[in-house]
Amino acid sequence: MFKSRLNLFRNVPCPAQNCTLVNCLFYHGDTALIEHNQPDEIEGIKIKKQNYWVEELNEVTERRKKVDQKIKLLNLQKKLAAQATDSVSASDSPKRPLPIDSKSDTNNPQHKNEKKLKLSKPVPDAKFLTPRNILPVGPAPVDIRLNLLKLLHKYYIILNPDCKNPNTICIEKEYEYATKYKSSKLSYLNEFKAYIFQLSKKINQNKKK
């Protein structure tokens, strides 16, 4: 098998200009011509050799480009298939029913109205919350700002169920604290958390009434 592979080069001209190897694998059929031909004919043979290797190199490069394109296409198809699978899984997941307080006073008309509002009114989606960009840099990493913004949004919609644009209001409120304390991460965290804590206290107070 090894010998048969070596024979693959027997028709390929030797790339060396003055090859002196006894058992060279490449073709040397033009050696005699080179020794007896004129300088211009010898130069023509050299050019043919160079052109042959240039064509071989171009062919290998073209094949490599096609292989790279196929690999990129396969990776893109896998990524799209994975995203489609995730979307189908999320849409097929069962939705949890809203909890019903069995101990509530069913004879209270005000309570019935509040209960209907809670069941019928859609809750603003927190996934559309995104902290506004602050240049050159914000007071805290984006993930920390986003977590605090979601917490603010959670308490705000409880206190203001009739608000039509709670997402915008919460984003602007977080941006207000972020710009005010952008030079100090500690001040931003302390002040903004204190504001959110005040909202949570109001919620607890309303529950006790």
Give the mean pLDDT of the chain.
76
Helices 142-159 and 185-208: crossing angle in degrees, nearest 10, is: 20
Cβ atoms < 10 Å from Cβ of 171: 19
Higher-confidence residue of 115 and 166: namely: 166
The reported pLDDT for the residue numbered 35 is 47
d(CA 62, CA 85) in angstroms, rounded, equals: 35
The reported pLDDT for the residue numbered 172 is 93
Phi, psi values for residue 116, rounded to 5°: -65, -40
The reported pLDDT for the residue numbered 114 is 59
d(CA 109, CA 130) in angstroms, rounded, equals: 39
Least confident residue range of 43-47, 56-60, 62-66, 115-119: 115-119
Range 95-99 average pLDDT:
60
- Give bridge partners of residue 13 from the DSSP assignment: 27
Least confident residue range of 33-37, 63-67, 103-107, 190-194: 33-37
Residue pLDDT, tens place only, 72-85: 888 888 888 888 77
Which secondary structure element, helix H or strand E, spans residue 40, and what is its range?
helix 39-92
Domain ranges of the chain: 2-89, 123-208
Say if residue 182's pLDDT is above 50: yes
Least confident residue range of 28-37, 43-52, 75-84, 164-173: 28-37
Range 57-65 average pLDDT:
87
The reported pLDDT for the residue numbered 194 is 94
Say if residue 197's pLDDT is above 90: yes
Please, which residues have CB within 8 angstroms of residue 184's CB and are 6 or more apart in sequence?
139
Q: Where are the alpha helices (DSSP H) in 93-165?
A: 109-120, 142-159
Helices (H) and strands (E) in the chain, counts: 7, 0
Residues in the chain: 209
* Burial readout 41-61 (b: 16 or more C-beta within 10 A, e: otherwise): ebeeeeeebeeeeeeeeeeee
Least confident residue range of 3-7, 39-43, 72-76: 3-7
Say if residue 200's pLDDT is above 50: yes
Max distance between CA atoms of the chain, in angstroms, equals 119
User: CA dist 152 to 11, 148, 204, Å?
Assistant: 78, 6, 15
Range 135-157 average pLDDT:
91
The reported pLDDT for the residue numbered 8 is 66
Cβ atoms < 10 Å from Cβ of 34: 14
Range 170-191 average pLDDT:
92
